[in-house]
Amino acid sequence: MDLTQTLEIASCTDPGMVRSHNEDSVAADAANGLVVLADGMGGYNAGEVASGMATTVIVTEMQQVLASARPYDVDPRTSQEIAARLLREQVLKANSSIYQAAQSQAQYAGMGTTLVVCLFYDNRVLVAHLGDSRVYVLRDGKFKQVTRDHSLLQEQIDSGLITLEQAKNAQHKNLVTRALGIDPSVEPEMHEYRTKPGDIYLLCSDGLCDMVDDDDIGMALQALGGNLKLCAQQLVQMANDNGGRDNVSVILVRVLREYPAARGVMAKVFAWLK
């Protein structure tokens, strides 16, 4: 099912005010309902290579798979929908390509990247993530964080060592506990959520949420939701106005209408005729 008429997507990426390289990478494929954001790490330009590989591999591989299958198809062996398995496989593929490049070429040693992927299908969104890049959602005027960071800081918050207030002033925000391309295998965290027409999903790198308060991000989304492109630029600008210490990337996705899966026999015939 082509989702170009269902999802409105805008993205913006910027090196920020301090860094010379942009190690973030964003990609979107509206037709397949796929958006990917990665924040690379590693010396020299290795971070850019890692995040670039992650977005490219996942988008192209997903395009190939989705050309012959639909995410809501049911796998006869497990009697579960194939979406999660497909996405996980592509994430693992990206992981091994990055890991192998890092192993085989000295200048890429130790490179890796955070990752957040959203796959929209059948009135739902499948979210996969690794590291501290996030997904937020604005629904009915309420702004909420969807993902939980894989970071040392988040673990400390969870274990009750520090409070959220203290976390804002903590000094090791940069340590992530899961990432793509660091080890031969990886387990992305995946969850599925129902979407609602009017929802705005925000994918962002830590360059945004470290520099701008969640309240201000929510306010920007609410105020500028009518113009996603401008909203994306505004978010990047807010991060830069606050110091822009890191690369800033955002992807905004608005759900314009319902998009239930075409399941019946007739629907299949129509889909085939199209």
Partner 1 sequence: MAKLILSMDGLVLKEIPLTKERTTIGRKPHNDIQIDNLAVSGEHAVIVTILNDSFLEDLGSTNGTVVNGNPIKKHFLQNNDVVELGKYKLKFVGEPAAAVGAEKADFEKTMVLRPAAMKAAAEQAKAMTGGAPQAAPHAAGAARVTASQHAAVSATAAGIADKDPRPAPAPAPAARPAQPLGAIQLLSGNNAGKELELSKPLTTLGKPGVGVAVLTRRPQGYFITHVEGAGRPAVNGQQIGAAPHALKDHDVIELAGVKMEFFLKA
Contacts with partner 1, residue ranges (CB under 8 A): 18, 39, 41, 112, 114, 131-132, 152, 155, 159-163, 165-166, 168-179, 182-183, 206, 210-213, 216, 219-220, 223-224, 226-227, 230, 234, 237-238, 241-243, 245-246
Alpha helices (H) along 69-161: 83-104, 152-158
- Least distance from C-beta 243 to partner 1, angstroms? 5
| Angle value at C-alpha 201, between 199 and 206, nearest 5 degrees | 155
- Least distance from C-beta 246 to partner 1, angstroms? 5
What 3-state DSSP class applies to 142? strand
What 3-state DSSP class applies to 115? strand
- Least distance from C-beta 6 to partner 1, angstroms? 19
Nearer Cβ to partner 1 (197/260): 197
- What is the distance between the alpha carbons of residues 137 and 221, in angstroms, rounded to a whole number? 9
Handedness of CA 72, 75, 81, 83 (dihedral sign): negative
Report in angstroms the alpha-carbon separations of 163 from 55, 57, 154, 166. Answer: 34, 38, 10, 5
134-139 vs 34-41, strand pairing mode: unpaired
- Least distance from C-beta 216 to partner 1, angstroms? 6
Q: Per residue in 185-196, is it b (16+ CB within 10 Å) or e — as a string?
A: ebebebeebebe
Count CA atoms closer than 13 A to 221's CA, side-chain side.
Answer: 29
Nearer Cβ to partner 1 (168/268): 168
- Least distance from C-beta 104 to partner 1, angstroms? 19
- Least distance from C-beta 238 to partner 1, angstroms? 6
Nearer Cβ to partner 1 (2/155): 155
Nearer Cβ to partner 1 (62/135): 135
- Least distance from C-beta 25 to partner 1, angstroms? 14
Element (H, E) at 52: helix 46-68
Contact at 8 Å (CB) between 255 and 7?
yes
